[in-house]
Amino acid sequence: MADASLTWLGHASFRLDTPGGKRVYVDPWFDNPKCPDSEKDPDRCDVIAVTHGHSDHTGSTVELTKKLGPVPIVALVELKGWLKGQGAQTDDMPGPNKGGTVEAEGIKFTLTNAFHSSAADDGTYLGEATGIVVELENGTKIYFAGDTCVFGDMQLIGRIYSPDVAVLPIGGHFTMDPREAGVALELLGTKRCIPYHYGTFPLLAGTPAALREQAPGVEVIELQPGETTTV
C-alpha cells in the first residue's frame, strides 16, 4: 500500500489522500487567505471530517457536498445535523460523539476531547469541539487536535491511539501556542508533529521554529500552504 499524503491548505484545512486511494478533507475552508487557488475547486472528495462548528472550520463543507455529493461527513452529532440543515448532501448516519469510532470509506474516525467552544456564527449550539483520530487503511494514525488548549488527558489519547503524527494548532490566541503544544507532544508521546492554525492572520503568531524549541526530539514538519508531506 502507498503511503498517505497530507497537504496543508492553510489555516486548519487539510487534504488527506489515503493509502487506499480515498480523498479526505479535514475542516475544508477554501476561502481562507492562505488556500492556494489550485485547491479551491476540488473535483473529488470521499469523506469530510469537521472538528467543530466555527465557520473557519465548517468553511466550505456544505458547498463541497452540494457540488460533489452526497459525501459522508464525520462530525459531532449536533454539528452534522446542523450541516444537513444548512443543505449539506450527506449520508443518513447520525454523527458520533466523543469516544465513538465510525468508519467511512474504509477509514476509521474517532472523536476525542478538545477544550474549545463550538457554535455557529449566529450563536446556534453545535455541541462541543472535538479532535479527531484518523486511522487509515494501512494502520497509520493521525491525530488532528482541532482547536484546543493543551489538557492532561492528551495522555489518554497517546495511550489508546498511539498517533504516528500529531497535527497541532500553534497560533495562540484562540488555541494553544508553541509552549502548550510542546507539552501536548510530551503527553501524547508522539515524535512527529505537523503544526497548523498559525500564520493565517497576524493574531495567530506562533511559529514552527518556536515549537521546535519547546519540543526537543520531535520532528516538526513545517509545511507551506499547498505543500504535501508523506505520513
Strands 101-104 and 73-74: unpaired
Say how far apart CA 83 and CA 80 lie, in whole Å.
5
Backbone angles phi, psi at 75, to 5 degrees: -160, 155
Say how far apart CA 106 and CA 92 lie, in whole Å.
17
Say how far apart CA 183 and CA 110 lie, in whole Å.
22
When asked if residue 135 is in the footprint of Zn ion (CB under 5 A), the reply is: no
When asked if residue 177 is in the footprint of Zn ion (CB under 5 A), the reply is: no
CB nearer to Zn ion: pick between 12 and 154? 12
When asked if residue 147 is in the footprint of Zn ion (CB under 5 A), the reply is: yes
Interface stretch with Zn ion, choices 41-49, 55-63, 73-81, 138-146 (CB under 5 A): 55-63
CB nearer to Zn ion: pick between 22 and 197? 197
DSSP classification of residue 170 = -
Say how far apart CA 228 and CA 231 lie, in whole Å.
10
Cell of 47: 469523506
When asked if residue 27 is in the footprint of Zn ion (CB under 5 A), the reply is: no
CB nearer to Zn ion: pick between 39 and 147? 147
Minimum CB distance to Zn ion, residue 1 (Å):
32
CB nearer to Zn ion: pick between 78 and 147? 147
Strands 219-220 and 228-230: unpaired
User: Which positions ≥6 away from 148 have C-beta within 8 Å?
Assistant: 114, 115, 116, 129, 131, 169, 175, 176
Interface stretch with Zn ion, choices 2-10, 16-24, 87-95, 142-150 (CB under 5 A): 142-150
When asked if residue 128 is in the footprint of Zn ion (CB under 5 A), the reply is: no
DSSP classification of residue 199 = S
Interface stretch with Zn ion, choices 43-51, 128-136, 139-147, 188-196 (CB under 5 A): 139-147
Is residue 57 within 8 A of residue 30, CB to CB? The reply is no
CB nearer to Zn ion: pick between 79 and 136? 79
When asked if residue 56 is in the footprint of Zn ion (CB under 5 A), the reply is: yes
# of chain residues touching Zn ion (CB under 5 A): 2
Backbone angles phi, psi at 50, to 5 degrees: -125, 130
Minimum CB distance to Zn ion, residue 180 (Å):
15
When asked if residue 39 is in the footprint of Zn ion (CB under 5 A), the reply is: no
The interface mask with Zn ion, positions 182-201, x = CB under 5 A, is --------------------
Q: Which residues make up the interface to Zn ion (CB under 5 A)?
A: 56, 147
